[in-house]
Amino acid sequence: MSRPFDRLRRSLVAPALPRLPLPRLPLPATAATLLVLLLLPGLALWRWPRPRAQGLEQLMAASSLLQSFAASPDRPVPALWRERFGVAPANRLWREQRRTWWQFWGPHAEAGAYLAVQDNTGSQRPLPANGLRVGNLLVVAPDPLSRRLLQDQLRPDQRAGRGLYSACLPRLESGQGVFWNASGLGALVGPLAPLLEAYQEGCLSLSLSLESSELRWRGEATDRAAAAGTARSVRATDGAASSLPPLPSDLLLELQGSSLEQLFRGLLSRQLIRDPLAARYGIDTKGLALLRRSPFRLRLQPQASGPFQASLELQVAVGPDHQAWRELLLGLARSLQAQALQDVPGASPPSQALAATWRREDGVVLGGWRWIGESGPQAQLLLFLGPVPSRWQTMTTTGVQAPGSGSLWLRVRPQGLDQLGLLPEPLPDLVRRADQLAMEAAPGAGGVSWLRGRLRVIP
């Protein structure tokens, strides 16, 4: 009985395609084919390996901070040239120069700057004191020990760089530019370095506008983990400098970002910081996650009188996390009271989640917080250190739109900060004398941030 059903089932199946005879390779031929497929890429790498790094790339790998300068033989001879070559040779070489030259610092910046110039004579000309040849460059160290340290760091077999190195190299080979790594950044900004965790290594192309007395830049930066990624185009930062308006005279600094993670990532990654936050102020893992995801605006305002030179205001866009922030503030209030700080007399714990002003026993106000809108999607929280701010503002009343995701906006009056002794000591005089500094950082692929900005110099 089953045979008719079997025939019916077979008749409903698509007719079988005719079988084509497939050639069977003998085992030795199959093994040889696989071997060729495996060896061809290796043979190509051996025959055409990635080219070795030239002199400038080797110096980038051995330096913490490197600056490039365009040839300008009509200008006075820089002091660095006279110090490294001697007065007479420096005058002659300076007049002959037609290409970019560099100064850089090793990991120990206190040893002084190295000078690097194009070496067109090869080995025909004797080396100056403390000089050495690095690829196609002649490098003069500040002293014999620095020369030896650099020589030990150089890697003649180093391959041409990828990622950030390959993107920065063209910037430094022509025109004026700067390259830095974590050591160089730390030497320049000192204790502020953890706040710049996302910009540990990078480069900028610099241009000076004589009409507006502005130094403009564009470039890219990243943390060190992403520095060895794939090559990236530099054209994304071409164009006009930062369009942020100047900072008003009643502010010293304004920093805006799409999340506090951008500002505190370097600090909150350290156990040495997280433990006291949890033990002394009750800000645990849940509270840190709340901080990290909140858009913010940070302001530094000068104080003409009182015990503080300046006050700090941190304005946070709370959004749907309103209740979580109230709980964090109540826990913070209990911690501050345990440290003998006093709120407004008679304030109850529920009201401390809405507003608080914390004083020492002598009555000096140290800081506090206020809500700008107590609920809803536009609710914002203002935390301050120093006297109570005289104005309440939302993040959009200044006419500057909040940055997009991953972006950061910075406006500074460096000269005002310098007059109060609030700038890191190693920053160059050009920055200290600047009336305005504005910079924008926007996220790119692979952990890279695109940078552009301007520095308005006072003549």
Higher pLDDT, 13 or 126: 126
Percent of the chain residues past pLDDT 70, beyond the cut: 76
Q: Distance (Å, rounded) from C-alpha 379 to C-alpha 371?
A: 7
DSSP 8-state class, residue 239: S
Task: Give Cα separations from 349 to 103, 332, 340, 342, 356 (angstroms).
Answer: 59, 11, 16, 12, 10
Mean per-residue pLDDT of the chain: 81
For tokens 């910075």, what's the residue? 410
| Each residue's pLDDT tens digit, 270-290 | 888 889 888 888 888 888 888
> How large is the angle between the packed helices 144-153 and 55-62, nearest 10 degrees?
100
- Segment 343-378, tens digit of pLDDT: 876 555 667 778 899 999 888 999 999 888 666 667
**Span 128-135, average pLDDT:** 92
- For residue 39, what pLDDT is reported? 60
pLDDT surpasses 60 at 247 = yes
C-beta of residue 395 within 8 angstroms of C-beta of residue 317: yes
Q: State the pTM of this model.
A: 0.79
Phi-psi region of 373 (alpha: psi -120 to 50; beta: other; left: phi over 0): left
Beta-ladder partners of 101: 69
DSSP string, 302-356: E-SSSS-SEEEEEEEE-GGGHHHHHHHHHHHHHHHHHTT-B-STT--HHHHTTEE
Q: Alpha-carbon distance 192 to 196, whole Å? A: 7
> CA-CA distance, 239 to 236, in Å (whole number)?
9
Closest CA to 101 of 74, 69, 54, 139: 69
Q: Which residues contact 278 (CB under 8 A, 6 or more apart)?
A: 284, 285
> Following DSSP, what letter does each residue of 109-135 receive, concatenated?
GGG--EEEEE--STTSSPPPTTEEEET
Instruction: Let me know if 409 is exposed, middle or buried by CB neighbors in 10 A (0-12, 13-18, 19+).
Output: buried
One-letter amino acid for residue 110 of the chain: E
Percent of the chain with pLDDT over 90: 42
Q: Check if the beta carbon of residue 308 is closer than 8 Å to that of residue 367.
A: no
Above 60 in pLDDT, residue 4? no
User: What pLDDT does 70 receive?
Assistant: 92
Tens of pLDDT, residue by residue over 18-54, are 444 545 545 565 666 656 555 655 544 444 444 455 7
Whole-angstrom CA distances from 140 to 102, 112, 150, 207 are 11, 11, 10, 26
Confidence band of 125 (pLDDT split at 50, 70, 90): confident
Between 426 and 180, the higher pLDDT residue: 180
Residue 408: its H or E element: strand 408-412
Helices marked H in 48-200:
55-62, 79-85, 87-96, 144-153, 164-173, 182-189
